[in-house]
Structures are given as structure tokens and as C-alpha cells.
């Protein structure tokens, strides 16, 4: 997939990878042989823990701080990525970009504020759009872009109206980007998780009632954990997925069929 020299490892950049799905994805791609750029916004300690786990397992990577919810923040983030790669003797090029960073706000439609709406669309849509745009000069031909959608862009939950809207936008952006970038051999796909046992969902999913409700709606009677989604992203990041693009691939255990 990479056009780099045989000495250079493939490079994967995963935003929001200091915890949750992003951390699991960073660790999995490191096991796949990628040099992984781990990103954190505020918790350097969490990011360092992920990088330590990667290195302890024999992988390689770098830790880069950056808030990718604003255009200015994205520009500064990429400058730090370039510097981190240079410090490891690598060119300012990436093979896989996983646009994982995002936020979740759960409120009834009637209680969702303009500030909630703006925060969601800034982080989940605007941030992804310009992350990919500014990453294009660094993304090698035949590379991979993986965006994060959600099961909530298919099935309805009134507690997530604005959030679901951001993921619907990601579905469309993914499809159009696949058409635009296909001439370079770059695939663009969205992974759409269902509910996953992470800190983001801990408030309800780690309760007996929440788990029972989720399992009643799923074909697979298990609660997903972050590595379940990371394994699916690993496939989309690999050469095995070379003929798959513009797809929304749902990894929800068959939720709400």
C-alpha cells in the first residue's frame, strides 16, 4: 500500500487515541506493523499510557497533542505530527488516517441547546472535514481514510438527535470523498459502531438495566468492547480492503435489525 522505501514503516494516525476506541485502534494498528501516531487533547498521561503499551508489545509510535475540532487546531496538530515523524527519521507522510476524535452529547431534542449543537458539529463534522483536507498532502497514494459513523445514523433514538445528525453527515462526506480520492487509489470508508463498553457510555451501559436493554436489541448477545471495533478498523486499514470504498460498515452486533 505504501510508496515509501522499504526501510520506512507504514504510518497510521489516529485522532482521539488516548482512550476508548481510538486507543484500542492505535494498539491494534501497531500490532499490524504500523508506526502509530497517538493523539490526545488534554490527558497526556492517558496518551503516554497507550504509547507505553504499544512499545511494550514491540510496536513503534509517537505521541502528539492536538485539538482537531478547529481548523487552527488541526493546522497546529499536523505541524507537530510532521515534527514527531521527523524526530523518528520518517518523512511527513501517512498511510492511514483514522478520524476517530469526536464527542457525544445525549439530550432530548427539546433540551438540546445551540451550544450543544455547535459543539457536536464542530468536533464530529467540521473537525473531520478539515482533518482530511489538511491531511491530503501528507496522505500517500493508495492510502486509507477511515471515518467514525454510528449505528445511530441508521436507527432512531430521540436522545441523540443532534449527535445522529453529525453521523449522518459523516456517512455522506465519506461517500463523496471516496469518489474524489479514488483516482489516487485512496479508499474512504466509515465504521459505524453500536454501543460499546467505553468510558463514553459508562453512565448507562455498565448498569444492569442498560446492558439488558442493549442485549434485547442485538442479534449477538454480547456487549461490545473497544477491540471489537478496532479489529474492524484494522481490516479497513489493510491492503485486504483495497476494493472496498465509499462504504458505511456497521459494527453493532446486529443492533435494532
| pLDDT tens-place string over residues 85-101 | 999 999 999 999 999 99
Task: State the pLDDT at residue 7.
Answer: 64
For cell 452529547, the residue is 105
Distance CA 90, CA 12 (A): 12
Summarize the confidence of residues 155-181 as an average pLDDT: 97
Model confidence at 116: pLDDT above 70: yes
Using pLDDT thresholds of 50, 70 and 90, give the confidence band for residue 163.
Answer: very high
**Whole-angstrom Cα distance, residue 93 to residue 29?**
16
Alpha-carbon span 121 to 104, nearest angstrom: 10
Return the pLDDT at 255.
95
Strand pairing class (139-148; 94-99)? parallel
Span of 30-44, 82-96, 126-140, 194-208 with lowest mean pLDDT: 194-208
Mean of pLDDT values over 169-183: 98
Is there a contact between 228 and 48 (Cβ–Cβ < 8 Å)? no
Residues contacting 137, CB < 8 A, separation 6+: none
| 163 catalytic per annotation | yes
* Cβ atoms 247, 182 nearer than 8 A: no
In the structure, what pLDDT confidence band is assigned to residue 199 with cuts at 50, 70 and 90?
confident
Lowest-pLDDT choice from 165-169, 209-213, 234-238: 209-213
**Which residue out of 94, 163, 181, 247 is catalytically annotated?**
163
- What's the CA gap between 222 and 3, in Å, rounded? 40
Cell 457510555 belongs to 201
Query: Residue 2: pLDDT above 70?
Result: no
Domain covering 11-196+225-251, topology: Rossmann fold (3.40.50)
Of 15-24, 134-143, 206-215, the poorest mean pLDDT is in 206-215
Predicted pLDDT at 52: 98
Judged against a pLDDT cut of 90, whether residue 235 lies above it is answered with: yes
Which triple of cell numbers denotes residue 100? Answer: 476517530
- Reduced to 3 states, what is the DSSP secondary structure of residue 182? helix
Helix or strand (DSSP H, E) at 61: strand 60-65
CA distances from 102 to 87, 225, 254 (A): 28, 18, 23
Amino acid at each position: 500500500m505504501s510508496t515509501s522505501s522499504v526501510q520506512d514503516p507504514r504510518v497510521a494516525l489516529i485522532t482521539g487515541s488516548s482512550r476508548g476506541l481510538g486507543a484500542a485502534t492505535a494498539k491494534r494498528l501497531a500490532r499490524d506493523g504500523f508506526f502509530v501516531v497517538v493523539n490526545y487533547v488534554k490527558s497526556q498521561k492517558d496518551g503516554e499510557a497507550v504509547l507505553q503499551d504499544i512499545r511494550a508489545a514491540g510496536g513503534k509510535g509517537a505521541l502528539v497533542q492536538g485539538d482537531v475540532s478547529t481548523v487552527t487546531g488541526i493546522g497546529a496538530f499536523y505541524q507537530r505530527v510532521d515534527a514527531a515523524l521527523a524526530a523518528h527519521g520518517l518523512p511527513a507522510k501517512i498511510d492511514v488516517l483514522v478520524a476517530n476524535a469526536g464527542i457525544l452529547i445525549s439530550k432530548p431534542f427539546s433540551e438540546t441547546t445551540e451550544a450543544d449543537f455547535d459543539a457536536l458539529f464542530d468536533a464530529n463534522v467540521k473537525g473531520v472535514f478539515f482533518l482530511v483536507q489538511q491531511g491530503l498532502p501528507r496522505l500517500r497514494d493508495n492510502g486509507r481514510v477511515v471515518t467514525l459513523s454510528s449505528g445511530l445514523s441508521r436507527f432512531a433514538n430521540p436522545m441523540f438527535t443532534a449527535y445522529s445528525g453529525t453521523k449522518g453527515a459523516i456517512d455522506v462526506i465519506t461517500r463523496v470523498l471516496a469518489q474524489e480520492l479514488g483516482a489516487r487509489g485512496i479508499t474512504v470508508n466509515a465504521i459505524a459502531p453500536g454501543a460499546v463498553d467505553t468510558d463514553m457510555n459508562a453512565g448507562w451501559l455498565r448498569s444492569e438495566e442498560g446492558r439488558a436493554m442493549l442485549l434485547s436489541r442485538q442479534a449477538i448477545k454480547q456487549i461490545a468492547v473497544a477491540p471489537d471495533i478496532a479489529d474492524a478498523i484494522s481490516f479497513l486499514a489493510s491492503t485486504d480492503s483495497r476494493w472496498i470504498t465509499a462504504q458505511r460498515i456497521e459494527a453493532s452486533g446486529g443492533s435494532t435489525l
